[in-house]
Structure 1
Amino acid sequence: MTASTSLTAVGKEPAVLRRFLTAPAAGPFAALVLASVFFSLATDQFLSGGNFSLILQQVMVVGTLAIGQTLIILTAGIDLSCGAVMAFGGILIAKLAVQGPLPPLLAIGLGILVCGVFGLVNGLLVRTVPLPPFIVTLGMLNVAFALTHIYSDEQTVTGLPEPLTALGRTFPLGRTDVTYGSLVTIALFLGFAYALSSTAWGRHVYALGNSAESARLSGIRVSRLTVGVYAVAGLVYGVAALLLVSRTGVGDPQAGQTDNLDSITAVVLGGTSLFGGRGTVLGTFVGVLIVGVFRNGLQLMGVSSVYQTLVTGVLVILAVTVDQLSRKGTR
């Protein structure tokens, strides 16, 4: 290696480090590490493969919802209906497979597709009317919630066939049992992280979030892109519905009532700006883990669930405050 090559390599290392430290997810990642260290010292049960697997199981449904929520927030929108849409998708899948004429795999596909239609309608209302995303998705939350209770007749669906519960099964990884659903969630995070960072579609999503007018002037079909993002998010909610059904083993009409707020919490904690155009799906994964680690660690310490909610609220306020200050600092 020549002297010039060595100097180039040395020069690249600080640049890579600087890029990591200035990334939106750097702060959340540091918070995740510090929280893990604290709970490892506070309780002997935290630092174990079985507990980490449990954390992944506990966050895989909200984490999958948070992927769709991230896509929408990156476009400077928001989706309050995701939890209710997921609940309707779960009931639809369960009832079609148990009481309907459809085979389980077809019921799963139709349930995911219907969730995608909910997202498509949200996107059309946001772009073609146009209406604020907050109002559209708040209305859709009530529509999906009502349809869930009407279609289920307020009854929990039990006796699910094996294909609907397959992702809730576990397999051994070393000395730890891991659910197949957890792997699906991780695969979705990696897939969308690649799509946002390495494809034209991903670059267009960021451009739309930064400035819809600038994106339009640069040749991006803003309306089509917006509707597409909401539709894709709806399909992701359908996958979350399947994961929910597989984890609980039932179709529950009461499911998902606070998952919309939990998904927004994870996105914000992961460093994605509520104003759009800034953030990553992998940052959202870190945000999901922060919520899971705090709730799990506090539970192991015997802390009441009320204080777990309190801590989560404080973290959200801090995350939004940091985002606001960083935006002001870049102006």
Structure 2
Amino acid sequence: MSTTKLPPIAQLGPFIALLIACAFFSVTTEHFFSGANLSLILQQVMVVGVIAIGQTLIILTAGIDLSCGMVMALGSIVMTKLAADLGLPAPVAVLAGIAVTAAFGLVNGLLVTRIKLPPFIVTLGTFNIAFAITQLYSGAQTITEVPEAMTWLGNTFALGGAQVAYGVVLMILLYLGVWFWLRETGAGRHVYAVGNNPEATRLVGIPTERVLLGVYVLAGAFYGLASLLAVARTGVGDPNAGQTENLDAITAVVLGGTSLFGGRGMVLGSLAGAVVVGVLRNGLTLMGVSSVYQVLVTGILVILAVTVDQLSRKAAR
């Protein structure tokens, strides 16, 4: 079976789960299917959704990135402080923030490829480093004087009676672009090959270390774009953001059908997984269910998704 393909049911699984969740909450709640509520769900997941793109690329190579949320928070602080304190033009400040997050991706990638450290340990360390730098650089203070150009993606436009944020459109376009790259280009297929069997990939002449390094840097760039979306959505640079987004992104990727063992998955599934989590939290909130039970349901779904992945791997042997 091709490493870039999944069985049809595995590809459709996240989308089926999304349809079931939407159908359930449309019956059990009164306002779930309103345009305003659906628009709110998409706005709530757009930051984690973009982080999940980078997380998907790393998990496809059989790695994992625990630092993604804090790197995103650092990027948001860098771009907002440069604009607010130094008066840099918004585009320059945003590019500087993305450069910082991409640099963290480069550090992660170099430690994984050159020193051969496990991705889990490397990114656990850079999670703490990013958190410390974020707190020190911001003085643990929220940056409020954010230029309007940085919050533009948080603005909305009318579509079918709902107000859709421009950031949501950007998220969808990024997913479509990465989906096309992974599916239709040689470089994208190399990502799957490295995750499926790195030694065999190296023996056929594909530079596995270069592919891995590129994946980590690219993931870092996506975290930078997520930084911009976080600023656009909240209107501030928050040094306390990003502390749970790593787990949310991993949850979205796992629910989206990407194998934690690498080499199998579809990036569009991660978008569906992120929206599934958003729908569950929103629907349960509308039902008046405590947030503790929302976390419980999400945890059960993650375990079920990994169990299905493990069983499917055994069945394919």
TM-score, structure 1 normalization: 0.93
Identical amino acids, percent of aligned pairs: 63
2:155 alignment partner AA: R
1:176 aligns to 2:162 (yes or no):
yes
1:64 aligns to 2:24 (yes or no):
no
1:196 to 182, 191, 196: 182
Q: Which residue of 2 aligns with 1:45?
A: 31
Q: Which residue of 2 aligns with 1:216?
A: 202
2:186 alignment partner AA: A
| 8 Å contact from structure 2 (residues 6, 264) kept in 1 | no
2:250 to 225, 244, 264: 264
1:144 to 113, 130, 147: 130
Matches for 1:73-222 after TM superposition, within 5 Å: 73-222=59-208
Q: Which residue of 2 aligns with 1:8?
A: none
1:183-222 Cα deviation digits (max 9, x unpaired) = 0111111110000111001110000000110110111001
Instruction: Return the alpha-carbon distance in structure 1 between the equivalents of residues 311 and 90 of structure 2.
Output: 50
1:325 alignment partner AA: L
Pick which of 21-30 and 85-94 moved more. Answer: 21-30
Instruction: Return the alpha-carbon distance in structure 2 between the equivalents of residues 101 and 45 of structure 1.
Output: 43
How many pairs align?
A: 313
1:105-160 Cα deviation digits (max 9, x unpaired) = 10001101111010011001100011000011000001100000000001000021
| 8 Å contact from structure 2 (residues 75, 100) kept in 1 | yes
Instruction: Return the alpha-carbon distance in structure 2 between the equivalents of residues 20 and 154 of structure 1.
Output: 45
| 8 Å contact from structure 2 (residues 109, 216) kept in 1 | yes
1:319 aligns to 2:301 (yes or no):
no
Instruction: Return the alpha-carbon distance in structure 1 between the equivalents of residues 148 and 263 of structure 2.
Output: 41
Instruction: Return the alpha-carbon distance in structure 1 between the equivalents of residues 303 and 99 of structure 2.
Output: 35
Instruction: Return the alpha-carbon distance in structure 2 between the equivalents of residues 308 and 25 of structure 1.
Output: 25
**SS, match of residue 79 in structure 2:** helix
Report deviation, 1:161: 0.7
Report deviation, 1:21: 6.2
2:261 alignment partner AA: F
2:120 alignment partner AA: F
Instruction: Return the alpha-carbon distance in structure 2 between the equivalents of residues 176 and 40 of structure 1.
Output: 17
Instruction: Return the alpha-carbon distance in structure 2 between the equivalents of residues 21 and 150 of structure 1.
Output: 48
**Unaligned stretches of 5+ in structure 1?**
1-18
| 8 Å contact from structure 2 (residues 157, 166) kept in 1 | yes
| 8 Å contact from structure 1 (residues 86, 241) kept in 2 | yes
| 8 Å contact from structure 1 (residues 91, 253) kept in 2 | yes
| 8 Å contact from structure 1 (residues 91, 152) kept in 2 | yes
Q: Which residue of 1 aligns with 2:289?
A: 303
| 8 Å contact from structure 2 (residues 6, 265) kept in 1 | no
1:66-110 Cα deviation digits (max 9, x unpaired) = 000000000000000000100000000110000114211100011
Instruction: Return the alpha-carbon distance in structure 2 between the equivalents of residues 225 and 22 of structure 1.
Output: 27
Q: Which residue of 1 aligns with 2:275?
A: 289
Report deviation, 1:23: 4.6
Instruction: Return the alpha-carbon distance in structure 1 between the equivalents of residues 9 and 52 of structure 2.
Output: 19
Instruction: Return the alpha-carbon distance in structure 2 between the equivalents of residues 174 and 79 of structure 1.
Output: 38
**Unaligned stretches of 5+ in structure 2?**
none
Q: Which residue of 1 aligns with 2:19?
A: 33
Instruction: Return the alpha-carbon distance in structure 1 between the equivalents of residues 195 and 235 of structure 2.
Output: 38
Instruction: Return the alpha-carbon distance in structure 2 between the equivalents of residues 47 and 219 of structure 1.
Output: 51
Report deviation, 1:22: 2.6
**SS, match of residue 157 in structure 2:** strand
Query: For the aligned residues, what is the CA RMSD?
Result: 1.1
2:248 alignment partner AA: D
Rg bigger for which structure? Answer: 1
Instruction: Return the alpha-carbon distance in structure 2 between the equivalents of residues 141 and 199 of structure 1.
Output: 32
Instruction: Return the alpha-carbon distance in structure 2 between the equivalents of residues 177 and 221 of structure 1.
Output: 46
2:170 alignment partner AA: V
**SS, match of residue 177 in structure 1:** strand
Instruction: Return the alpha-carbon distance in structure 2 between the equivalents of residues 21 and 219 of structure 1.
Output: 28
Instruction: Return the alpha-carbon distance in structure 2 between the equivalents of residues 261 and 156 of structure 1.
Output: 23
2:105 alignment partner AA: G
Q: Which residue of 2 aligns with 1:15?
A: none
